[in-house]
Structure 1
Amino acid sequence: MNVLVTDPIAEAGLDRLREAGYDVRTDYDIEGQELLDAVADANALIVRSGTEVSRAVFEAAPDLVIVGRAGIGVDNIDIEAATDHGVIVANAPEGNVRAAAEHTVAMAFAVARSIPQAHARLKDGEWAKSDYLGTEINNKTLGIIGLGRVGQEVAKRLDTLGMNLVVYDPYISEERAAQFGAELIEDLEECLRRADFVTIHTPLLPETENMIGTEELALLEGGYVINCARGGIIDEDALAAAVDDGTVVGAALDVFAEEPLPADSPLLAVDDVIVTPHLGASTEAAQESVAIDTAEQVIAAFNEQPVLNALNAPSVDETAFPRIEPYIPLAETAGKVAAQLLGKRITEIEVHYEGEVAEEDVELITASALKGVFTPLEWQVNAVNAPQLAKDRGIEVTESKTRQAADFQSLVTVTVRNGDEELSVCGTLFAGEDPRIVRIDGFRVDAIPYGHMLVARNYDKPGVIGFIGTVLGENDVNIAGMFNARETYGGEALTVYNLDHSVPDVVIEELLSDDRIIEVKEIVLDGQEELTKRETPTSAD
């Protein structure tokens, strides 16, 4: 596996990848066509904020499995394009959270006490003690815009230092805010009105770009602004003007809309604006941590394990993964079998869980079931893009759970529909990890899902199974296992045959020539290409 690293990360992360046996190439100066050429044979791409991972990059990298962002922000990565190409995008949100939170707190103190300004003047020989009357943060109100991981860590630290906390975050509950000693405010304007200090902790999104402008800054009259999240959230021209005219007492920024910060930025001309060159994550411990976290996620993706911080793929808690792991291939197989047996355009997919598995987080299992459904249709699909493929094609996907299972400890059922016509395949695990297909379209079977499978529908008449076995035997197709079920005596029956190898077309045609046989379909599992459905001329289409 080839790993391309285009932004500097700590050597500990690179060493972890090399120890895992991967070929690691570092090139920190490429962009444009050079980048497109470099990713052509890459299986993983590791970046920080410097590399623009556009749709063109994904189009140039047919073997790319994962893009790892050694840090939190991913606004330089086209996640929609990644999903379209089935590429995982994962960040490392934990490694630099503490560093970013500490820098935010440091900036709050720095702007409240004019520390950089006083330092600079003293270095220049001025004892300007009387020029700086600072502000204590004790009993002041801190407005936190975005209570994500960094926002939470900032809240913990400044709450203990005596600040009153109010939070604006449309995606959290009052109860969650209260856990950090904060009051949830329903709108941004009210949060700004009540705050003495405001700190930003949101990603840069279309809805957050220039979220803080002239009107919003006017609501913070007499207060302070700190932004160590992402540049572009605050209108920098408006902020410079607000601090310059005294509307806002001071501001401290570590991130900017354009980096490096241009020499003609109005922020540099205002004495009460403190700026640092994106140092939030710049600690030795943070850089090593995010590098190792990113490397571990690349390794997990290569090993087809859950990527815990995937942003566009189902993920699962590390402690829960061993419990759901056996169901992932089971659901994929059930999806493959169901799609091929229906043999028609699919308009709906339902994945139903019964028993113990219904107690788990099943998002990854459902994505694997969708992957199985789409694979026989020859779409380029994996668990990353399967949910998006369903959405793009107007296929309705539902997930349901039942805590009780009548006959099994756990049961996963994949149902595919075309209008009023539907077909279900149910799978379970014997002895905790031995997969079985136990129902097909209502017929109770006990089929081992591997290799070549032949599914035959026939009328329940004497000699049919013997005829099928004879035809297979005469053509040197060995039966490894057989599982038969019927609706009623003399009614319709279904038989699943596990075979040692593929069935030639002439054998399928011979089987279908018997009018007692309604339908025969061959399914190839374990990564082999699924074969085309064959039916009798009289069967319904």
Structure 2
Amino acid sequence: MFQVLATDSIAKEGLTVLENDSNVSVIYGSVDEAPTTIDALIVRSATQVTAELLAQFPSLKIVARAGVGTDNIDIDAASKRGVLVINAPDGNTISTAEHTFAMMMSLLRRIPQANHSILEGKWNRSSFKGSELLGKVVGIIGLGRIGTELAKRLKAFQTDVIVFDPFLTEERAKSLHVQSVSLDALLTTSDIITVHTPLTKETKNLLSKENLAKTKKGVYFINCARGGIYDEEALYDCLKSGHAAGCALDVFIEEPATNNKLVHLPNVVATPHIAASTTEAQLNVAVGVAQEIHGFFNGKTVKNAINLPSVPGEELQKIMPFHELAKLSGQILSQVFTSGVKEIRLSFSGTITDHDTGLVTRGLLSGFLMQRVDRYVNDINAPLIAKEQGFTISETSRSETYGYENCLQVEVIGEHDSFSLQSTYIPGYGPRIVNMNGYVTDFMPEGAMIYIEHVDKPGVIGNVGKLLGDLDINIASMQVGRKKAGGEAIMLLTFDHELTKETEMKIRQLKDVVSAKSLAL
């Protein structure tokens, strides 16, 4: 008999699949009153699943977050105890898309302000002249699940939908009837801008003072994604000055946001992080985690795992170095190849072929996708997400080891270009990257790095070194490579600390430097 504790007012009707199983006992209540013998725990955001709480339930096998965010769960502590953590990333897609649309319409028609005016006993019709959505250019930053659903609804209102998403292929954009554009093009042409990306190093303060200044006068901004994507100080100034006509916010850097000066501006519509708060969404996430737990109890693959499941000890020891090698390779490839992907080709040679390489392939995919999509990615759900993103992955074995005991080769293919990476694992030394896009290298993938493509001319390497020296930045190591004298060449530098975006931009601006991309592992 499996015992499941459902806390935080989980929708009971969503747990039917568990309730109807004679081998499962569902308990409703708080963790303080629960028996220590529970096998599964279902929570929302109120319960803090700490290391101490996990220790109270030695039989616990799985923790399910009925929602997306898992900030209230100590993932590392759960992993150490062999407890699987899952969430329900798809259950609130529609509710968030609809809330974004509702915020958009409320903003354009000034509905909250008009309602407030009536409650004050006023009837000022002329004070609340709004704007129609018809014919507006709506810019969506991030075309994940929520952005996709929003785009579908916007087309029904006869808007022109443009999208900035570095990973969007032309084929997918065409199928969704949207236009893929650069960030600058979106900023300068959109009447309404809405963000639907995860909060990452790349997207933090993406809507900065500089980028907000590029937008059209009278633009509207919307954020129902994550606090921190907009620079709130810059956004306040943009709204206060009258450059922006209005803004709708459901999320903030710090919450509760009752004292945030943005919410007190007359041209701001704010809600208390409720985009996912619908009856249907709460039911959907409960159903989602219940089905996952039921499948887990019956030995089925869990789709939305946050951490890794346990693997038999002896095989895990043999395969994990290659798994880590593949994951690092995926992270590097994702950062150097920033276009849309159609196919990933993976080939193995040498000692690695003595093992089941399925886990290695999943590691590569999870490393590649983790910064590209608006959800948690791990070895379990990476293949499913890859399929959703519209690209395929192929695996082959080769006899040629290129002089190494084992070799992992990956080629990422896009619509117009490709990028290849070759790596190996050397016992006692660790993972090594031995070839980048045809250039021979030999470096350990770790820490802060920058990958520079340049013209093979005298002085280029010196100019990069001088710039970094003038900025008091110490180079820890350097790799250089070329295919022929005077042609294309590369530099790969490692540092003690991550470079700033400003430094990266200065390197790009140096003469004969073609591109420069920071790599963080």
The normalised TM-score by structure 1 is 0.55
2:143 to 147, 155, 159: 147
Alignment of structure 1 residues 410-421 onto 2, 5 Å: none
SS at match of 2:129: coil
User: What amino acid is the match of 1:145?
Assistant: I
Q: 1:271: which partner in 2?
A: 266
Structure 1 contact 350–399 (Cα < 8 Å) conserved = no
Structure 1 contact 4–24 (Cα < 8 Å) conserved = yes
Alignment of structure 1 residues 344-359 onto 2, 5 Å: 349-350=352-353
Counterparts of 1:39 and 1:365, CA distance in 2: 39
Q: 1:437: which partner in 2?
A: none
Alignment of structure 1 residues 374-453 onto 2, 5 Å: 400-401=395-396
Pairwise CA distance, 1:103: 1.2
Pairwise CA distance, 1:68: 2.0
Q: Deviations over 1:455-500 (max 9, x none)?
A: xxxxxxxxxxxxxxxxxxxxxxxxxxxxxxxxxxxxxxxxxxxxxx
Q: 2:173: which partner in 1?
A: 177
Q: 1:19: which partner in 2?
A: 20
SS at match of 1:90: strand
Pairwise CA distance, 1:145: 1.4
User: What amino acid is the match of 2:113?
Assistant: Q
1:73 to 64, 69, 72: 69
Counterparts of 2:164 and 2:198, CA distance in 1: 14
Shift of the 366–163 alpha-carbon distance from structure 1 to 2, 3 Å rule, reads closer
Pairwise CA distance, 1:204: 2.8
2:107 to 103, 106, 111: 111
Q: Deviations over 1:294-351 (max 9, x none)?
A: 111111122221112334459xxxxxxxxxxxxxx9xx89959x99xxxxxxx95336
SS at match of 1:289: helix
Q: 2:197: which partner in 1?
A: 202
Q: Deviations over 1:362-411 (max 9, x none)?
A: 9479779xxxxxxxxxxxxxx979x9xxxxxxxxxx99447xxxxxxxxx
Structure 1 contact 69–90 (Cα < 8 Å) conserved = yes
Pairwise CA distance, 1:107: 0.7
SS at match of 2:352: strand
Q: 1:481: which partner in 2?
A: none
Q: 1:476: which partner in 2?
A: none
Identify unmatched segments of 5+ residues in structure 1: 315-328, 340-346, 354-361, 369-382, 388-397, 403-418, 422-541
Counterparts of 2:282 and 2:144, CA distance in 1: 20
Which of 1 and 2 has greater Rg? 1
Counterparts of 2:306 and 2:20, CA distance in 1: 26
Counterparts of 1:351 and 1:120, CA distance in 2: 70
Shift of the 155–286 alpha-carbon distance from structure 1 to 2, 3 Å rule, reads same
Shift of the 237–366 alpha-carbon distance from structure 1 to 2, 3 Å rule, reads closer
The normalised TM-score by structure 2 is 0.57
Q: 2:132: which partner in 1?
A: 136
Q: Deviations over 1:230-288 (max 9, x none)?
A: 233323343233212212211111222333323x2112210111011222222222221
Pairwise CA distance, 1:158: 0.2
Q: Deviations over 1:135-185 (max 9, x none)?
A: 222221111111111111000000121111121223332222222111223
Q: 1:317: which partner in 2?
A: none
1:289 to 273, 284, 287: 284
Alignment of structure 1 residues 417-496 onto 2, 5 Å: none
Pairwise CA distance, 1:84: 5.4
Counterparts of 1:45 and 1:104, CA distance in 2: 31
Alignment of structure 1 residues 525-540 onto 2, 5 Å: none
Counterparts of 1:351 and 1:51, CA distance in 2: 44
Q: 2:152: which partner in 1?
A: 156
SS at match of 1:225: strand
Structure 2 contact 7–28 (Cα < 8 Å) conserved = yes
Structure 1 contact 87–384 (Cα < 8 Å) conserved = no
Counterparts of 2:61 and 2:86, CA distance in 1: 11
Q: Does 1:121 align with 2:117?
A: yes
Alignment of structure 1 residues 249-398 onto 2, 5 Å: 249-262=245-258, 264-312=259-307, 349-350=352-353, 363=358
1:92 to 79, 88, 94: 88
2:241 to 245, 251, 265: 245
User: What amino acid is the match of 1:304?
Assistant: G
User: What amino acid is the match of 2:151?
Assistant: A
